[in-house]
Structure 1
Amino acid sequence: MNGKKGSCVMIDINLMSKAVPPEAVRKSGGGGLAPSRKWIRDVWEFAREDTNRVTFSLKVGLAVLLASLLILFRGPFEVFGNNIIWSIITVSMIFEYTVGAMFNRGFNRALGSLLAGIFAIVVMHVGLSSGHIAEPYVIALSIFFIGAATSFMKLWPSLVPYEYGFRVVLFTYCLIIISDYRMGSPVRTAMERLYLIAIGGMIAVLVNVLIFPIWAGDQLHRELVSCFSSVADSLEECVEKYLRDEGLDRPEFSKKVMDEFPDEPAFRKCKATLNTSSKLESLANAAKWEPPHGRFMHFFYPWSEYVKVGAVLRHCAYEVMALHGCLHSEIQAPYNLRCTFQHEILDATNQAAELIRSLAKDISSMKHTLHSSPLRRVHSSTERLQRSIDTHSYLLTRFTSPPPMTVFLLPNCRITLQHPLSQSQGLLRQVERAVLQQQQQR
């Protein structure tokens, strides 16, 4: 193994290539008990992170149970028959985590089922009126046309939010028209299925809205506030580590170091903030479908502004990520140089973090209490840091030494010393040359 300060020989003797460490034997001695405990602990931690996950699961089970009662009781089953399965399918398909997402999907489901039912009834009438010979061809051409049209329209940029609705049109139309081809009274069967889809949708809406509702607007609000706090914490952690690191035993900048980045809190928080783009957009789109609720008692609440603020905040997170990259750079400033500007750097960092937390507090309380004083303090702290850098600019040169010192030995004889304490031999030579030059001038 070659090192930077010398070399040594490393001998690796492998006596048992297939030997199993004793620790592994002890761990595997319990059979499947240890993995099962780990799985239970992971499930428990996953549920503790967000209790709404458990609430959502229980609500889905309740909604499916209520829809299944239409089959379990004899009266509804005698009226609708096996078509009751459409209510259960509707509940399982439109029930979403948040109320806004469910309204969005429910609207697509309702509109798609209505259009599919209308198309199916029209095509059935056309097929019956065209005769038994032409009816299969009419149905086949209609299926081809509906499949091609819905698949093309869901790719249209302005219709992308309604992509699920086009899938429902194709799915429902094919099931209605194919399953009723050999049955009598197809119009009655199609209407019954539309009724059952409406019943399933009403069950899902009532359960999701009336029993511990999970609002997308509230989640969007909390997510944006947590992003502000994460950026402020990451900024302080990066600067504190930069000033605390003395540069001893620094590992080489390699893939191994890159793999260790996720273990650092500052890196994790910044990465989580940068990955919130799609989440904020989806929550904002879902919140637009929600009725006024809680603190958001205004129609047409500007949810899109949350997405814009999140985009600006991600630019700040990129800057913090750049600071984090400086911690693992191969080229580092000396530790004593960092200590020279430590007070000014900490002051500027604390003022910037306080400003970010003030913005988060204003967004959380939905009150404009932020004045210009935090921003002025940030500007003044950065100006003090800049003045300190200008004052000690000589430390940033290649040779970190004080400015040149001029010594007058004889009249009209001046010597400029660059390193008066470290280069004694050069000093003597300069003195000798100056004395000889003075004698020659005389």
Structure 2
Amino acid sequence: MKALRLTLESFRFAWQALKSNLLRTILSLLGVTVGIFAIIAVFTVVDSLEANIRQSMTFVGDKVIYVNKWPWVFDRNFAWWKYFKRPVPTVREFRELQRSLGPNNKGIAIFASTSGNLFRAGTNSMESCNLQGASFDYRQVSDVPVVEGRYFTQQEVDAARNVAIIGATIAENLFPGRSALGQEFKTRGQKFVVIGVMEKEGKKLLDTPSNDTNCLIPFGMFTKMFALSTNGMGGVAPTIAVKGTDEDPGLLDLEYELKGTMRNIRGLQPRDEDNFALNRPEMLANAITQLFSVIGIAGAVIGSFAMLVGGFGIANIMFVSVKERTNIIGIQKSLGAKNYFILFQFLFEAVFLCLLGGATGILLVFLITLIPQDALPLFLTASNISLGLTVSVVIGVLAGIIPAVLASNLDPVIAIRAQ
């Protein structure tokens, strides 16, 4: 009860002091507002950018291990010559994995793709389309959001039929103003019948593969149109993907089983190094996290300079406030006010001032996030709001502690005589 009364009285004294010097209060708030705005704005942009990039990378799937020739390594000192002569995954290896892998997977798929294809339907055409061949279980390892029509049947994939699932942008360009289902288009000298249209994704921040310009066909049909590579030098190199289960959250069991099976298929001896790479989406996620952690630290350092200026401004105002209210402090002490009451009073004023400035800075960032943006939608997270308010409190304590201590230690007789 006493603590609550002390808090309310300190709040009333602080509010009266701030209200009596409104112009000075506003000028003091500017420094903290600019500092908090700079820090939270940087973190907001970094978080939004990271989220957008992660969303752009969703094409790699979740809980999936990819069998490739090359490892996903983000190092400028990457020893590429060690992997140059590795063979690429083959259809035979895909079949062997289908037969050999145990219950640690939900599905195994093989796929390959080429870009820059020209699609024609009557007088309409579209360039730079991606043509992708995939086995039946491809939808188990990657998202195929069919909103109109259907996915392939097992018979269509086994028979390598001329059927296709196209992206929304392809459908809009080849068949404007009408449904694409059942329509025919031609590419690479082959005619295809549209059996499905994928959901429109829209523009991505990164130039990553998009379903909007992607055409999915049975893998057998794809191999009739394109020669598959065996060493990654000529032809199209396929990729094998294996979807993990929820019972294996780290995919460790699947990775060990997949590694052992691939080594057995390729006839590697115990002392031989792997001549394949097992890649996981977490490799991309970790690289992105490391990149943006550096950017975030750099932004925080830059914003801290503005915050430092605001803190000095608050400290200066508190020294002036102590000087102006020395006589009042002497009267309060003569009436029995304790040192901790005077200390808490001025400290609360500094914290309250910083919190007000910090909240204003956060509000400005929030207003910016409300501006519609197609390229990079911004969002303010609860963690960034908490960070801004916490930093405001810390700055308020650091800026107000010395003036508050000086005020609490004033001699009441000397203070009451001050003019």
- Bin the TM-score by the shorter chain: under 0.3
TM-score by length of 1: 0.26
